[in-house]
Structure formats: C-alpha cells, structure tokens
Amino acid sequence: MTQPPLEGRLHPVTPLRRSWAVLAALAGLAYQQHNLFSVGTSGTKDKIDVPLWIACTIVTVIVAAVVSLFITSWRHSRYSLDGDELGYRSGLLFKVRRHCELHHVQSVDIGRPILGRLLGVCTLRVVMSGTTMTLSYLTLHQARTLKSRILAEDTTDERLHQVKTTDLVLALLLDLGTNLKSLVLVAIGVGPYVLSGELFTLSTLVAFVPKIWKLTGRRLFAYSRWSVTRTAEGSYRTDHGMFDTQQYTYRASRIASIEIHQPFLWRRFDWVEVRVAVAGAGRPGVLLPVCPRTVAEKLVLHLLGPDAVAHLHAPIPAPHEARRATLFYKALGYRLGSGYFTAWRGYFFRNSITVCPVARIQTVDVRQGPWQRKLGLASVHACMAGGSSVAAAHRTTAESADLATRLYRASTPR
C-alpha cells in the first residue's frame, strides 16, 4: 500500500511569530539611543534632528525588511513525508535539510501553547532516540494528518485514567515536602528584608520567584486536566495542561523503570504519584501526578505486565546491621524474581517503590562506603539505560555479593 507523498508549508503565522523578537530588539535598541535623536522638532541642542517623514520611512523599511526576510525564509521552508522518510528543509542563508526515517520515530506529540490555541495552530514534536524534530506551527488538521501517517496506526484510544481537579488541588496542598521547600525558598528571599528593614532588599525575592512558581503554581497549571490514554499496543499518551496543552507518549518497550511515590500526607487517601524513566530521556517523567494506588498498579500491569504487579508487595527488609548505618532503615527493601527488580526506600515508611525489568539493566555495581565496611554492609546498584539506577541499599556483604550475581545473571539473555 503506497500513499501519495504528503507535502506542505508551516502555518503563515510562523514568520510573524519569529520576527517579532527581532523587531522588539531593534525597538529596544532605538529607545536606548533616544537622547541622541529627536524626531520632528528642529533647533534642539546636542541632538541630531530627524524629520518626521524620514523617521517614518526608516521604520517602515526596517519593519518591511525584517518581516519580508522571515516571510521569504518561511516560503522556502517545507516539510515532506514520502514513503518512509520525513523531511524538513528550511533556511535562506543557511540551508538546513533534515531527514528522519520513520522506523526510528519513538513518539509523535502535539503541543498547543496558549497563543497557538487562540489562533488555531499547534506544534508537532517528532521524538527519535536522542533528537527531537519540532515543526511549528502547523494547523491542527495538518498536524493530525501527519501524526496518523507517521505512526501508521489505528487511533483507537482508550482512556485509562483522568485526574479530577479537586483531587489534584488537594494532593498538591498535601504534598508536604514540596510545599515546605517552597516556603523555605520564600523565607530565604524575604530574610534580608526582615533583617534589615530596607525595602529594596526585597529584590532578592526576584531570584527565587521562578523556582517557587515552578514548585507551586506551575505544577497546578501543568498537571491540571491530566489524563492517560492508551493509543496502541504498548503506547501510552499523557495529555495535560490548563493553558498550554501538552502531550507525551511513553512506549512500553522503552521503559527503564517505574517509580511509585507517596508523600507522607497522601497515605490517608492511599494516593500515589507515578513516574516513568525512559531509556534515552534524561529525568523520569510524570505519568500520573496523583491517582489511587489501584490505578497505579493497573498502569504497571499495562506497562510491565502482571508479574511486575505481584512484585509491588512483600519486600525483603534490610538486615539488622542496617539500623546503625541509616536512620531510615525500616523503609529499605528489595525484591528480585520473575524478571523484575524492585527496590523500596523512603523515610519512616516505604514511600517510594521503583520497579524495573531486569532485562534492561545495563551494569551491576556493588558499592561500599567506609562506615558500611565497619558494619559489614554494601549496596547493590542496578544502572539502567539513561543513567538512572535502582539500588538495594545496605545489605550484608554476603547477601549483596549473591544479589549482584543474581542480578547480573538475570540481566543477560542466555
């Protein structure tokens, strides 16, 4: 079955979106020099007098030049989808041609920033291992056609879970660790003002505001209307965002580990947060910001299989000696078997569970610090693709040697 090649241009709004930054920079530059020039007034001292009509012409010429430059470059840029190859060519002075083969594509996501939503345009992110190709802006119709052609799959979606807004707000309020962190940041920011009483010292707050916003308000906006959808066999898509709608697709075959985390105050509701580490991506991404534990276990069942779910219970507790190595020895534990390695950690309770398929373990590492050596303990780290590691901390030396051997044996196919 061969389909005709698909070609097209980006949306006409693209050049305008790109040129405004240059125009703003030029305007700023002109404003900085405003005491050198005067417009329309004659006979001023120390200033170069520019007649009004010349000023208007200059401004028009500059704006027209910048805009036309961007429009020409937009006219020369086009994407094409022919057979198994997605191409994008752009540039006027520096020509860029990008090609990607469709069987390297890991996921295709449509993002809709707030301004784009008002204009009815969106961006298409094509994620390959290592690089991402972003096409912005496309009309929604173009993006959907491209996406369905690239993925070449039936788009029978099955929504697995939708986070309720009330639950999300309550959960974020009850997330003690993050809230305390942002309070400490506020305290550090306001501290100089409290100590000195000088109003201008409040300017230190400016440095902390982005971080505080990231920890509190932005989480609420980014996490709201969160849903997880199963798109095809082994593909799970998250849609989220109040203003900027974002998508991210996880493939079951690329998953390095799943972390189920429970902040202390969520125990009452038995809510958890689910994070997923993907091979090739930097940090674990959020799969669900808040959900009941049963839903989390259902997702683990979908992503890793039924054996992994049975794994989420009954850890082997840390040995007796570990209580001298760490204050939080009660939370430690691990389990290995039926193709999965699971590790527990936390403070006073077992807050975090990390489960990974042993076939994805890259290296096995036994580590021992000086204090552990005195107590006859060692930690076993299973390093996953992407740099994350799952650790069974503070085991006795004999147990850790045995565990390392078993982990290594399980991780290599026979």
Partner 1 sequence: MARYIRPEPPFTLDGVDMTRHPARTVRVHRIGAALKILGTSALVGTTAALATTLIHTVVTKARTWHEMFSWWDPTLAFLALAPFALYVWRWDRIKVGWHFRGYHLGDEELYIRTGLLHRSFTVLAYARIQEVNVVSGPIQRRYNLATVTISSAAGHDTIADVDPQTAYDLRDRLTDLARKRRLPV
Tokens, residue 42: 């004659």
Question: Does residue 325 interact with partner 1 by CB under 8 A?
Answer: no
Residue with token string 């489960």: 355
Question: Do 223 and 239 meet the contact criterion of CB atoms below 8 Å apart?
Answer: no
Q: Which residues share a beta bridge with 121?
A: 139
d(CA 402, CA 400): 5
Q: Quick one: which of 378, 390, 393, 410 contacts partner 1 (CB under 8 A)?
A: 378
Question: Does residue 387 interact with partner 1 by CB under 8 A?
Answer: yes
Looking at the Cβ atoms of 23 and 383, the one nearer to partner 1 is 383
By CB under 8 A, the residues from 170 to 199 that bind partner 1 are none
Binding mask 69-108 for partner 1 (x = CB under 8 A): ----------------------------------------
Q: Using CB under 8 A, which of the segments 9-17, 130-138, 181-189, 397-405 binds partner 1?
A: 397-405
Question: Does residue 375 interact with partner 1 by CB under 8 A?
Answer: no
Question: Does residue 373 interact with partner 1 by CB under 8 A?
Answer: yes
Q: What ranges make up the beta strands (E) of 102-200? A: 105-111, 121-128, 132-139, 158-162
Binding mask 38-57 for partner 1 (x = CB under 8 A): --------------------
User: DSSP assignment, residue 369?
Assistant: -
Looking at the Cβ atoms of 247 and 389, the one nearer to partner 1 is 389
Looking at the Cβ atoms of 126 and 403, the one nearer to partner 1 is 403
Q: Quick one: which of 22, 62, 301, 383 contacts partner 1 (CB under 8 A)?
A: 383
Distances (CA, A) of 68 to 18, 73, 92, 412: 12, 8, 12, 59
Binding mask 269-298 for partner 1 (x = CB under 8 A): ----------xx------------------
* H-type alpha helices, 305-338: 306-310
Distances (CA, A) of 167 to 96, 138, 241, 269: 47, 34, 15, 10
Phi, psi torsion values for 117, nearest 5 degrees:
-65, -35
Q: Give min distance, CB of 362 to partner 1, in A.
A: 4
Q: Using CB under 8 A, which of the segments 135-143, 220-228, 325-333, 360-368 binds partner 1?
A: 360-368
Question: Do 168 and 217 meet the contact criterion of CB atoms below 8 Å apart?
Answer: no
Q: What ranges make up the beta strands (E) of 163-315? A: 227-232, 235-240, 246-251, 255-261, 271-278, 285-292
Looking at the Cβ atoms of 154 and 198, the one nearer to partner 1 is 198
- Interacting residue ranges for partner 1, rule: CB under 8 A: 279-280, 362-370, 373, 378, 383-387, 389, 397-398, 400-401, 404, 408, 411-413
